[in-house]
Amino acid sequence: MSKRQLMLQPCGHTVKRRRGQSQPRQRQHLYLVVDDWERGYSVRKIDVDALDSEAHAEPFDSEADSDAFDSDAEALDLDEDAETLPEPPVIRFKAPHCRLWYFGGHGTNILAMPVSSRADNAFPVIDTKTLGLTLCAHPDGHKVYHKPVFASVGGELYMMVESSVCVLGAPPPAPHNKDTQWSWTILPDLAPVKSSCITSSALHPDGHTLFVSEVKSTFSLDTEKLSWSCQGNWVMPFKGQAYFDNELDAWVGLCRHKGGIGYVCCCDVPPVATAAKCGSMPAWKLGKDQLFSQDNERHLGANLLYMGNNNYCLIQSLLHKKYNQRCQGPRRLVLYVTKFGLKYDKNGELRTTRLSARSYEMVEGHELNDLCSTPVAFWM
Q: Can you say whether the dihedral through the CA atoms of 341, 75, 34, 132 is positive or negative?
A: negative
**Contact assessment for residue 146 and residue 195, using Cβ atoms and an 8 Å cutoff:** yes
Got the DSSP string for 107-173? TTEEEETT---SSTTEEEEEETTT--EEEEEPGGG----SPEEEEEETTEEEEEETTEEEEE-PPPS
Confidence of residue 321 (pLDDT cuts 50, 70, 90): confident
Find how far residue 163's CA is from the centre of its chain.
Answer: 21
Distances (CA, A) of 277 to 149, 199, 224: 24, 20, 20
pTM, 2 dp: 0.86
What confidence score (pLDDT) does residue 325 get?
66
Q: What percent of the chain has pLDDT over 70?
A: 80
As a whole number, mean pLDDT of residues 53-66 equals 44
What confidence score (pLDDT) does residue 322 get?
81
CA 379 – CA 29 distance, rounded (Å):
6
Confidence of residue 117 (pLDDT cuts 50, 70, 90): low
Strands 209-213 and 200-203: antiparallel
**Contact assessment for residue 279 and residue 273, using Cβ atoms and an 8 Å cutoff:** yes
As a whole number, mean pLDDT of residues 198-226 equals 96
- Going by C-beta distance under 8 Å and a sequence separation of 6 or more, which residues neighbour residue 253? 200, 202, 236, 237, 238, 239, 240, 241, 242, 243, 264, 265, 267, 304
Asked whether residue 245 carries a pLDDT value surpassing 60, the answer given is yes
Ranking 177-186, 247-256, 353-362 by mean pLDDT, the lowest is 177-186
What confidence score (pLDDT) does residue 5 get?
33
328 compared with 4, residue with greater pLDDT? 328
Cross-strand bridge partners of residue 317: 301, 335
Confidence of residue 241 (pLDDT cuts 50, 70, 90): very high
Of the candidates 371, 378, 307, the one whose C-alpha atom is nearest the C-alpha of residue 111 is 378
Q: What percent of the chain has pLDDT over 90?
A: 64
As a whole number, mean pLDDT of residues 352-356 equals 90
374 compared with 19, residue with greater pLDDT? 374
- The residue ranges of every structural domain in the chain are 198-287
CA 351 – CA 200 distance, rounded (Å):
22
- Prior bond of 188 cis (ω within 30°): no
What confidence score (pLDDT) does residue 70 get?
46
What confidence score (pLDDT) does residue 77 get?
61
Confidence of residue 41 (pLDDT cuts 50, 70, 90): very high
Q: Can you say whether the dihedral through the CA atoms of 2, 7, 12, 18 is positive or negative?
A: negative
Asked whether residue 268 carries a pLDDT value surpassing 60, the answer given is yes
What confidence score (pLDDT) does residue 140 get?
85
Confidence of residue 280 (pLDDT cuts 50, 70, 90): confident
372 compared with 306, residue with greater pLDDT? 306
Confidence of residue 12 (pLDDT cuts 50, 70, 90): very low
Size (the chain), residues: 380
Asked whether residue 218 carries a pLDDT value surpassing 60, the answer given is yes
Question: How many CB atoms within 10 Å of residue 111?
Answer: 22
- Predicted confidence (pLDDT) per residue in 68-83, tens digit: 344 444 445 667 789 9
Distance linking the first and last C-alpha atoms of the chain: 28
Asked whether residue 133 carries a pLDDT value surpassing 70, the answer given is yes
Asked whether residue 61 carries a pLDDT value surpassing 60, the answer given is no
**Contact assessment for residue 236 and residue 218, using Cβ atoms and an 8 Å cutoff:** yes
Distances (CA, A) of 14 to 17, 20, 127, 212: 9, 17, 22, 46
Confidence of residue 302 (pLDDT cuts 50, 70, 90): very high
Cross-strand bridge partners of residue 250: 245
Question: How many CB atoms within 10 Å of residue 191?
Answer: 19
Could you give the 3-state DSSP secondary structure of residue 309? coil
Asked whether residue 62 carries a pLDDT value surpassing 80, the answer given is no
CA 145 – CA 98 distance, rounded (Å):
12
